[in-house]
Structure formats: structure tokens, C-alpha cells
């Protein structure tokens, strides 16, 4: 399973080199200053990393999903904020347009997003609708060939810098729950659409986020994705795939923590010996290495299912759930291996620890992943299964 094709190996090597030379040196600075590194985004575009699995005719790299997962892992190994920027841009801000847009809509938005001339974002979460995304209060009322949007979105990654936004809104206010929702592509600068930079974050501080406000925003009918009132599937299918990439984000963070802890355990001496020679420290390293490998296998196998066109909802949720928890445990242990030095921002492990927490929240919390997995295993009770 860990055997990669030549193309996959090449993509991994290219991203590793880029990550080590150009992303890692900025990771601490963008975390400290909460700066979104636009220049890194442009470089990712030059390297063809912004739409790895999309066909070349739309500006993508024409590779597979596993290749994208490898790129995510390599970026997260040195800078999780940069990896999250890519995930929000590709998995959330670009893929739904490719998966559900008309040919004209795809041609209008995707080449610019894939080429990095535009930045993408995804607005599902609202102040009162996160896990319960079907509880969206933003409305889209149809008036002839337009919809009039009113409402707001919160925690939207890339929001301050994004040019296009895939957004959910209730187009049939009389429908219950997740029914009656439609999906739309909105553009920055449209009348009544305002963006406000988000609050200071615990982690992922080099990734941008924002609040979105819609006041009588006119959206042309052709900017709707999927049939009217059937937009919820756009967001759920997007998350099915996106969660695999968040799994890769967790694996990358955990790998970075493992490597840092290993190097420190070899160099740091106590009682006249490298601390790695103490069994208690060795056990932490052994557990980290074992869990990282298991998480990686789950993530790659979910990506492979997706590449083969097979169902991957539960497997993607398992990959995300497990990798997120592995990232939390690995970064926690890495700080322990560093001792007091793990507590200061001179070393990357405290950043890894703060960044890892996002994996247990974004694109569905760990509690929601367990619901998805349990439903898959148990079947839906109301269906008698
Ligand atoms: C850094 C960051 C970036 C993000 N980027 C984006 C983005 O780009 N676009 C976007 O749309 N959103 C984004 N989000 C939002 C994210 O998807 C939501 O925060 C997440 O889905 C949880 O929703 P909530 O914050 O409303 O929490 P809530 O839904 O209020 O959950 C609070 C707690 O209750 C638990 N809970 C809720 N319902 C259940 C249940 N049925 N069973 C068991 N437990 C339950 C949750 O697991 C959690 O522990 C981002 C969040 C973060 C932190």
C-alpha cells in the first residue's frame, strides 16, 4: 500500500523540496504575525499544486487524488497553515465547481483557480449552524433569473483573500432540515457582499479566515451548482473528499512532530546519555511512529478508493478521525520529549500542537466523524438496517 507510482513519487519529491526550501523558513514567522503568505500561494500555482487531481484542460495537473494527499502531507509536515490554505482552495473552493457546475461555470472559474490567478473559499458554517449545517439561516429567494441572498457565514478559510466562494443558502424556506438548500458561487466585490477578517486564532495562524455577510446580494441563476433545492449534497460530497485531505494534514503534522522529537531525543543528553536511550522516551517515539504509519495507511487507502471511483464516505471519515487524534497525541508527546524547550516558540513542536487541534474540528468535528462511521457500520435504524 505504501508503494507509490513514479508520478506520485515525483510529486512527493517536488513538494518536499519546495516545502523545505520555501515554506519551512517562513512557518514560524507567518504563525507569529498571522500573515497569509500570498507569495507562497503564487509559488504553489507555478508548481502546479493548486488543482492536482483536475484534468489539464481545466488547468489542473491531471494526476490522482492520492498525489494531492501526498502534497498535503508534505506541506503539513513543515507548515500546516500552508497546507490548510491549499485544502480550502482546492478541496472546498474549487472541486465543488468542477463536480457540480455547468460547463460554462467550470470554464468561467476553474482555470483561474487552478492557475492561482484567483483564490477559492467555501462558506458552509454559520454562527448558528456548524455541525448542524442543515440548519443554515442564510436565505436565497429566487426573483426571475436571480437569487437574492441574505445572511452570514463564519470561520471561512481564505475568506479575506478569496475571489470566489462556494456558499450554501436555504432556497426553500418552508423545507425542513437539510432539504431546500441550494449551492452558489459568489464573487468578491458583488454589491451587498462584505468580508471581515476573522478573530485571532489558537493555531493555523498563517492561514486566513473571515466572516462573510450578505445583504440583498444578487446571484445570477447560472451561478447555482446542482439543481435548485438539492445543494446539500454538494456540501456533503465535497466534505467526503475533503476529509481525506484533512486526514493527510493530520498525518503531515504528526510526521513533523515525530521527526522533531526523534532528532531531539538523539541530541539532548541527561544523566550523561541521549534521552532517546531512556525507555520511557523511546516508547513515546515508538508509539508516535506506529500511529503515524497506521494513520498514513488509512488516509492513502481512502484516497485510493476515491481514485477508483468507489464509495469512501466512511473510510474518509475514519481517515480524518484517526489522523486527527494521532496528530494530537504525536504533538503532545513531541512537546514532552522536548521538555521545557517544547514549551517555547523557538522550536516548532508547540506550533504543531496548536495547529493539530484544527484537524479535530474543521470539515466536521471528531464527534461528527464518529456519527458518520457508526451510521455506516450500523446502518440507519429508520431504514431497518
Ligand atoms: C480553523 C478553522 C477553519 C475553518 N474553515 C472553514 C471553512 O473554510 N468553511 C466553513 O464552512 N467552515 C469552516 N470552519 C468551521 C468548522 O467546519 C466548524 O467549526 C465545525 O464544523 C464545528 O461547527 P461549530 O463550530 O458550529 O461547532 P458546534 O456544531 O456548535 O459543535 C460544538 C460541539 O458540539 C458537538 N456536537 C454538535 N453536534 C453534535 C452531535 N449531533 N453529536 C455529538 N456532538 C455534537 C461538536 O462535535 C462540538 O464538540 C473552520 C473552523 C476552524 C476552526
Q: Are 266 and 274 in contact (CB under 8 A)?
A: yes
Pocket test for ligand 1, best of 361, 372, 374, 375 (most atoms within 8 A of CB): 361
- Are 90 and 224 found together in one domain? no
**Percent of the chain scored above 90 by pLDDT?**
97
φ/ψ region of 365 (left if φ > 0, alpha if ψ in -120 to 50, else beta) reads beta
Decide if 137 is inside a domain: yes
- Phi/psi for 212 (5° steps) reads -115, 140
The residue from 114, 149, 170 where one domain ends is 114
Reported as a single tens digit per residue, the pLDDT across 12-62 is 999 999 999 999 999 999 999 999 999 999 999 999 999 999 999 999 999
Q: How far is the CA of 242 from the centre of ligand 1 (A)?
A: 15
- Are 241 and 367 found together in one domain? yes
Q: Are 352 and 80 in contact (CB under 8 A)?
A: yes
- Are 246 and 340 found together in one domain? yes
CATH number, domain containing residue 181: 2.40.110.10
Cα–Cα distance for residue pair 256/27, rounded to 1 Å: 12
Secondary structure of residue 27 in the 3-state scheme: helix
Cα–Cα distance for residue pair 5/12, rounded to 1 Å: 11
Decide if 18 is inside a domain: yes
Bridge partners, residue 323, by sequence: none
Decide if 275 is inside a domain: yes
Tell whether ligand 1 has an atom less than 6 A from the beta carbon of residue 138: no
Decide if 1 is inside a domain: no
Bridge partners, residue 2, by sequence: none
The residue from 229, 251, 282 where one domain ends is 229
Q: pLDDT band for position 1 (50/70/90)?
A: low
The residue from 229, 264, 283 where one domain ends is 229
Q: Are 123 and 153 in contact (CB under 8 A)?
A: yes
Tell whether ligand 1 has an atom less than 6 A from the beta carbon of residue 159: no
Q: Whose CA is nearest to atom 1 of ligand 1?
A: 358
The ligand 1 atom nearest the CA atom of 128: 26
Is the Cα dihedral 101, 105, 106, 110 positive or negative?
Answer: negative
- Are 146 and 94 found together in one domain? no
Decide if 253 is inside a domain: yes
- Its pTM stands at 0.97
Q: Are 265 and 281 in contact (CB under 8 A)?
A: yes
Secondary structure of residue 265 in the 3-state scheme: helix
- Are 315 and 343 found together in one domain? yes
Secondary structure of residue 311 in the 3-state scheme: coil
Is 382 annotated in the active site?
no
Task: Count how many domains the chain has.
Answer: 3
Q: Are 151 and 107 in contact (CB under 8 A)?
A: no
- Are 370 and 257 found together in one domain? yes
Contacts (Cβ under 8 Å, ≥6 apart) of 311: 305
CATH number, domain containing residue 88: 1.10.540.10
Q: What is the mean pLDDT of the chain?
A: 97
Q: Three cell numbers at 384?
A: 431497518
- Are 360 and 240 found together in one domain? yes
Range of the domain at 76: 6-114
Q: Show the DSSP H helices in 145-269 as ranges.
A: 232-267
Q: Whose CA is nearest to atom 30 of ligand 1?
A: 130
Reported as a single tens digit per residue, the pLDDT across 136-153 is 999 999 999 999 999 999
**Percent of the chain scored above 70 by pLDDT?**
98
Amino acid at each position: 500500500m505504501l508503494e507509490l507510482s513514479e508520478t506520485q513519487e515525483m510529486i512527493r519529491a517536488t513538494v518536499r523540496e519546495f516545502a523545505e526550501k520555501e515554506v519551512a523558513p517562513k512557518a514560524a514567522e507567518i504563525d507569529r504575525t498571522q500573515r497569509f503568505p500570498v507569495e507562497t500561494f503564487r509559488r504553489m500555482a507555478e508548481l502546479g499544486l493548486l488543482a492536482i487531481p483536475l484534468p489539464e484542460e481545466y488547468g489542473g495537473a491531471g494526476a490522482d487524488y492520492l498525489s494531492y494527499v501526498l502534497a498535503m502531507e508534505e506541506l503539513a509536515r513543515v507548515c500546516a497553515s500552508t497546507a490548510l490554505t491549499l485544502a480550502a482552495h482546492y478541496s472546498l473552493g474549487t472541486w465543488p465547481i468542477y463536480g457540480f457546475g455547468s460547463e460554462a461555470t467550470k470554464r468561467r472559474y476553474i482555470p483561474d483557480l487552478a492557475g492561482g490567478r484567483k483564490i477559492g473559499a467555501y462558506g458552509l458554517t454559520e454562527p448558528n449552524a456548524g455541525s448542524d449545517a442543515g440548519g443554515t439561516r442564510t436565505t436565497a429567494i429566487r426573483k426571475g433569473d436571480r437569487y437574492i441572498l441574505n445572511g452570514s457565514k463564519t470561520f471561512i478559510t481564505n475568506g479575506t483573500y478569496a475571489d470566489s466562494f462556494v456558499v450554501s443558502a436555504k432556497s426553500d424556506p418552508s423545507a425542513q432540515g437539510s432539504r431546500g438548500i441550494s449551492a452558489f458561487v459568489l464573487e468578491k466585490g458583488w454589491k451587498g457582499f462584505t468580508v471581515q477578517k476573522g478573530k485571532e486564532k489558537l493555531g493555523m495562524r498563517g492561514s486566513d479566515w473571515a466572516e462573510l455577510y450578505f445583504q440583498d446580494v444578487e446571484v445570477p441563476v447560472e451561478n447555482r451548482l446542482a439543481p435548485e433545492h438539492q445543494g446539500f449534497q454538494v456540501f456533503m460530497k465535497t466534505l467526503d473528499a475533503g476529509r481525506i485531505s484533512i486526514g493527510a494534514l493530520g498525518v503531515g503534522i504528526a510526521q513533523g512532530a515525530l521527526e522533531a522529537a526523534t532528532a531531539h531525543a538523539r541530541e539532548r543528553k541527561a544523566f550523561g546519555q541521549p534521552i532517546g536511550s531512556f525507555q520511557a522516551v523511546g516508547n513515546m517515539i515508538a508509539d508516535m511512529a506506529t500511529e503515524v504509519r497506521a494513520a498514513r495507511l488509512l488516509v492513502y487507502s481512502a484516497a485510493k478508493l476515491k481514485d477508483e471511483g468507489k464509495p469512501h464516505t466512511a473510510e474518509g471519515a475514519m481517515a480524518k478521525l484517526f489522523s486527527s487524534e494521532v496528530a494530537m497525541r504525536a504533538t503532545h508527546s513531541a512537546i514532552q520529549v522536548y521538555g521545557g524547550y517544547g514549551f517555547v516558540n523557538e522550536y516548532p513542536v508547540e506550533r504543531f500542537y496548536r495547529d493539530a487541534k484544527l484537524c479535530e474540528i474543521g470539515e466536521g468535528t471528531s464527534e461528527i466523524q464518529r456519527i458518520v462511521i457508526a451510521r455506516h457500520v450500523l446502518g440507519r435504524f429508520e431504514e431497518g438496517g
